[in-house]
Structure 1
């Protein structure tokens, strides 16, 4: 039997072990505290018990306790970026018609205009009190917003709606100095504006971020809410790619940093101190922050500002098509495996797409090899290219893939829709012929005054039918069913029967309503 060493005469054996355990307890407590916001230098996920044993236990503990620091905040970032942020104040002189009841809307925008609807939806214009003057013949509307310098020589970014129509623009810097600014250019479609501040060539400025923020990243909003300049709020990126119904180029970053009236045009900073977006709108029933705000991505700001600085306006590529999303029903009716791409409802006559052979019912699936997720993405992609550029489009045409090369035109400032169908197109029409199981009756378009010469006009819709659920109404003109032109109710029934024979769950119809074409997938009953 092997003798075991006698350790009873070694009093120091247990004492160091107790010290080691004590060190571990303290280290564990320090780690827990660090999890509550206190940083403990020297410890890391890779620290192991052997590391602790490599030096005297008491010295290790004392070192770690000495290095405990306060929680890390955003003060250093704010101190660095806040001087680049400015408050923007504008005066807008307007003539208004007096009325008997004294009603005077505070909105500086034309009633019913897109911007007026936009502000009504998102809580009203930023700080526009709407003061009347001149005995009811006019008024001076005063507005305020935010902005930020992007260069030392005084170029600054803000929102179009902050300076739109302004007769005078003044900015106040973080150190309290006031300067006059000139509007260099604006872009209503993205709600961006570039202004130039004179008076110095050494303004502190911010850098626009190169990368895209991730959902969950920290974000700091700096601006002039309610006229309280130099206000900083913090939150996270809540979502990206938001469409808020402001236009075809909507691609907003959603943040939950508190943003209020007056923050418009101000920057949203990331933790590198770079501008990830320009704060533009809030979603709020009350007009105050409820934790949902929207920022224009830095990538969009770069593109727009470069053109505004160069020529004072923005030119966008244009292919000349009316497009709509591909829904699951539409994808099924076209035999597509996934609901993706942009469906061409109608190419504009003599536009680039029409000249290149793109037709109604085609689905554009990629641009220059990059997949197109939906109709909005196609609009943004084409709009981001310069007029005159050549692009390669992948198109699904009547079930077959094909490649189309075309040269982009320039997006017109206004696109007027031609109405081939007047408001009274359904008047004087006969009852028409019933289309079974769809819940509507139709008649040849050329037999109904004002309906045109092509297709069949809807003369009656059962309010409880599948047609009603899909938005059909009296006066709509059905041009195609299942990819085939129709001119009688018999043509419609034949196309539906063909789709049923092909085991499709829905049939695709091209419909013209109020001068605009769209595709509608209507479910069909079996048998």
Structure 2
């Protein structure tokens, strides 16, 4: 066979191979057409109207206050500020927003995001046949960002509900919504991660996906390949204001629990442990005698709270709750919040290097209270440690009562040294050093002198009533 024929034969063989590979790859990709046809009619478009106050000055535009939002996590409609038409007579104007939702019952219950309908004076639901119905707000829960609406109707199309706990990372998922007002847009991707915690969102273990989500998708359903809703699309991570490949959905298991409580009682009740926790990093794990960083470190136990009554102490590391592992500290609020107040929970903790099992009666999550402020520095026995570079004084009785402490010392002065390097400030209160509760300034000096070299040492610090553990190492 000539070289020309051999070359031609190889080229043909390569082309056939590439065609075969392309055919196989195409066969492996999911076909969403049937899913969209069946589920699409139960997805709705939601618009709201809100009356705004009159302008103080002629021609002045009213802009929603976005201050306080996390810089990278922005709720869709707070990013998409509606245009407010100018009115020469200065009458009240109406702001309009646009979002998505889905029907979960044939008699007209609709799920969406709280931020889609928050502060709305009128809520309109547009069906797939373009008909519009006025919706009644049954209830909303800002903590989970879930809202339940009701429209009048019979035999309405509904979605199938799945189990978000059964989702697997890498699984295909699909979203239907109205991004930028383009009704019934379909986007698809995979589950990127589960159990994500976002800033200021302690009670929702978000599903992370790479499904394209934009303003208007918010409140819409996230489907698995079986056509079941597994989440409510809620937030995106962005630096540009648009989609960047990171989307977050509320698990449908969480959303339905909230919706059922809103429908039955009009409010949402969550479990509460009454502790302030923090992450266990490598240095803290070493200082507490753990094999690896894991669990939730108890930095503060609230007075008369469920944890205090159950025997939980500052410095305990919670490893499991009812047999479920606490891999990172953010796992704990999700699990506690899902427990019915009044139920008992078993906690496995590490205390002084040993494992213990505690039984705690879970309380009801209260409204957010005021922070406890520490008193002004009082008089006491001054003490200092050249090794740490900090001068401390005993707490007076009023300060101890305000902070619910039996001991501890107040930092009066910080000089150059380890204390300055780890960010300690005058006014901070040190309650624990090297896993020991500090009783007085004299005790602090004694413990500081005996600190080991080149080994992680933990210190518990109260700053403006907030407790946290920090670690440091002494080289000399």
Q: TM-score, normalised by structure 2?
A: 0.86
Q: Which residue of 1 aligns with 2:438?
A: 486
Aligned equivalent of 1:241: 195
Structure 1 pair 337–225 and aligned structure 2 pair: CA distance change class (3 A): same
Question: Does residue 340 of structure 2 align to residue 386 of structure 1?
Answer: yes
Pairs within 5 Å for 1:72-83 = 73-83=31-41
Is the Cα contact below 8 Å between 1:252 and 1:297 reproduced in 2?
A: yes
- 1:33 is matched with which residue? 19
Which sits farther off after the overlay, 468-477 or 515-524? Answer: 468-477
Helix, strand or coil: the match of 2:166?
Answer: coil
* Contact 2:48 2:96 survives alignment (8 Å): yes
Once the two structures are superposed, residues 12-43 of structure 1 have per-residue CA deviations (whole angstroms, 9 ceiling, x without a partner) of xxxxxxxxxx9xxx999877534314689xxx
- Structure 2 CA distance for partners of 1:416 and 1:37, relative to 1, 3 Å: farther
For 1:47, the equivalent position in structure 2 comes to none
Structure 1 residue matching 2:450: 3-state secondary structure = helix
Gaps of 5+ in 2: 1-8
- Corresponding residue number in structure 2 for 1:183: 137
Partners of 2:327 and 2:52 lie apart in 1 by: 43
Structure number with higher strand proportion: 2
Displacement of 1:442 after TM fit?
Answer: 2.9
- Is 1:155 matched with 2:95? no
3-state SS of 2:203 partner: coil
User: Cα gap change, 1:70/1:467 in structure 2, threshold over 3 Å: closer, same or farther?
Assistant: closer
1:263 alignment partner in structure 2: 217
Structure 2: how far apart are the matches of 1:248 and 1:516?
17
The equivalent of 1:512 in structure 2 is: 462
Is residue 2:267 matched to residue 1:313? yes
Q: Secondary structure of 1:248's partner? A: strand
Match of 1:213 in 2: 167
Q: How far does residue 310 in structure 1 lie from its aligned partner after superposition?
A: 1.9
Matched, 1:472 2:458: no
Q: Do residues 457 (structure 1) and 410 (structure 2) align?
A: yes
The within-5 A match list for 1:82-481 is 82-95=40-53, 98=56, 102=60, 104-107=62-65, 111-112=67-68, 116-117=69-70, 121=74, 125=78, 127-129=80-82, 131=84, 139-209=93-163, 211-421=165-375, 425=376, 434-446=384-396, 454-461=407-414, 466-481=418-433
Aligned ranges for residues 17-28 of structure 1 at < 5 Å?
Answer: none
1-side partners of 2:54 and 2:274: how far apart? 38
Q: Mean alpha-carbon deviation: is it higher for 265-274 or for 244-253?
A: 244-253
The 1:439–1:253 alpha-carbon spacing in structure 2 relative to 1, beyond 3 Å, is farther
Name the SS for the 1:215 alignment partner.
coil
**Aligned partners of 1:429 and 1:138: how far apart in 2?**
59
Distance in 2, matches of 1:349 and 1:34, equals 69
Is the CA contact (8 Å cut-off) linking 1:240 and 1:252 kept in structure 2?
yes
Structure 1 residues 469 and 314: alpha-carbon distance in aligned structure 2, compared to 1, 3 A threshold: farther
Q: Does the CA-based 8 Å contact 1:123-1:285 persist in structure 2? A: no
The 1-side partners of 2:125 and 2:283 are apart by: 52
Residue by residue over 1:397-421, the C-alpha shift from the partner in whole angstroms, topping out at 9 and shown as x without a partner, is 2223222212111111223322124
Alpha-carbon deviation of 1:70? 12
Matched residue of 1:403: which SS? strand
Partner-residue secondary structure (3-state), 1:375 = coil
Contact 2:391-2:413 at 8 Å conserved across structures: yes
Work out whether residues 455 and 474 of structure 2, in 8 Å CA contact, stay in contact via their aligned partners in 1.
yes
1:64-105 alpha-carbon deviations (Å, 9 max, x no partner): xxxxx9986322221121111111111122437736994632
Separation in 1 of the partners of 2:420 and 2:190?
Answer: 42
CA-based RMSD of the aligned residues comes to 3.4
Structure showing greater Rg:
1
Counterpart Cα distance in 2 of 1:85 and 1:397:
51
Query: What's 1:6 paired with?
Result: none
Distance 2:289 2:185 in 1: 54
Partner of 1:344: helix, strand, or coil?
strand
- Do the aligned residues in 1 keep the contact of 2:211 with 2:245 (CA within 8 Å)? yes
**Higher relative contact order (Cα pairs below 8 Å, separated by 6+ residues):** 2
Return closer, same or farther for 1:155/1:357 CA change in 2, 3 Å cut-off.
same
Q: Is the contact made by 1:433 and 1:442 (CA closer than 8 Å) also made in structure 2?
A: yes
Structure-1 separation of matches of 2:266 and 2:362: 21
Q: Deviations over 1:270-317 (max 9, x none)?
A: 211111211111122221112221111222223222222222221011
Shift of 1:146: 0.7
